[in-house]
Amino acid sequence: MKFVRITVNPNQMGGMPCIRGLRIPVATVVGMVADGMTVEEIIKAFPDLEHDDIREALQYAAEAVRERELPLVHVT
């Protein structure tokens, strides 16, 4: 998948993936969704964001998780 709204600039936000060159990290947006915020609440907090930015941030995060294995606690 090609991501057109996610940018990485080593001179901005420590090279973290951000939304459209803004100083809004993908991780921040994904964390807000995980905390139960609605798209409207996120856009109210970051008026420069668009609905498609949030959708692509979630897609980017999903793809990032597919690409590597994360340590999990095994439940017996």
SS3 19: strand
Q: Give the chain's domains with CATH numbers.
A: 6-67 (1.10.10.10)
19 phi and psi angles, rounded to 5 deg = -90, 120
For residue 75, what pLDDT is reported? 67
Per the document, the length of the chain is: 76
Query: Which secondary structure element, helix H or strand E, spans residue 44, and what is its range?
Result: helix 39-45
For residue 65, what pLDDT is reported? 86
Q: Is the pLDDT of residue 72 over 90?
A: no
Per-residue pLDDT tens over the stretch 21-58: 999 999 999 999 999 999 999 999 999 999 999 999 99
Q: Which of 50, 62, 63 is nearest to 22 (CA)?
A: 50
* All residues at 6 or more sequence positions from 33 whose CB lies less than 8 Å from its CB, including other chains: 42, 54, 58
The percent of residues in the chain predicted with pLDDT above 70, rounded, is: 87
